[in-house]
Amino acid sequence: MDVIKQLGQFSAATVHEALGKYGNLPSAIKPISSTMKVCGPAFTVKTMPGDNMLLHRAYAYAKPGDVIIANCSGFYEAGYWGDLMSLGAKTKGINGLVIDGCVRDADDIEAMGFSVFSRGLCILGTSNHGDGFLNEPIIIGGVLINPGDIIIGDRDGVVVVPQNRITEAIEKSVAREAKEENVRRQLREGKTSLQIYGWDKQFGY
């Protein structure tokens, strides 16, 4: 099993915790449909405010399985991405989009099953000048994202796994899942979380 499939088994929250609470993007960035998930190598984009030409180039240049992840220079009042770009990206085998900005055509994107994570929806169109850069390090919410880092997203949010921590993320996520399953077993047996974690003595329960 390759690392993408292995990491894709875990929730974004599990991986985030496994990495020592590292790599979480701003909580405002969520899937436009609650069932959408994404996992794949980052193809990074930095756009200028209100311009989306770099996003057109990104899905044309990215490899199948990649996740396009974009910093929009902190300008959110624009629909940087829509249904036509989603169709083009999906046809090329792109795994999804994570954008620190807004998108539009949400119903059509959801219907075609292309995973999009954004700060929200905005009908305002963009310019097409093309300022910015592709496949260089970007920062979103204080998190450094390098091309090839693994992006994992689900309903809870998005986490970035640096390339040099992929093995660690997998191993610690496996261990965390096993530990939590043990807690679930004890909860089903009637124990409280206070008892399981030894806090009952602290609080006299």
CB 89 within 8 A of CB 45: no
Instruction: Look over the chain and give the mean of its residue pLDDT values, rounded to a whole number.
Output: 96
Show the CA angle centred on residue 79, arms to residues 78 and 82, nearest 5°: 170
Q: Are 49 and 98 in the same domain?
A: yes
Which neighbouring-strand residues pair with 156?
none
Which residues have C-beta within 8 Å of that of residue 21, sequence separation ≥ 6? Answer: none
Predicted confidence (pLDDT) at residue 90 exceeds the cutoff of 90: yes
**pLDDT number for residue 1:** 55
Q: Both 25 and 10 in a single domain?
A: yes
141's tokens: 């919410």
For the chain, give the percent of residues with pLDDT over 70: 99
* Model confidence at 205: pLDDT above 70: no
Q: Which domain holds residue 82?
A: 3-162
Same domain, 78 and 103: yes
Residue-wise over 26-44: b if at least 16 C-beta within 10 A, else e? eeebbbbeeebbbbbbbbb
> pLDDT of 31-41, one tens digit each?
999 999 999 99
Q: Indicate whether 100 and 63 sit together in one domain.
A: yes
Number of domains, the chain = 2
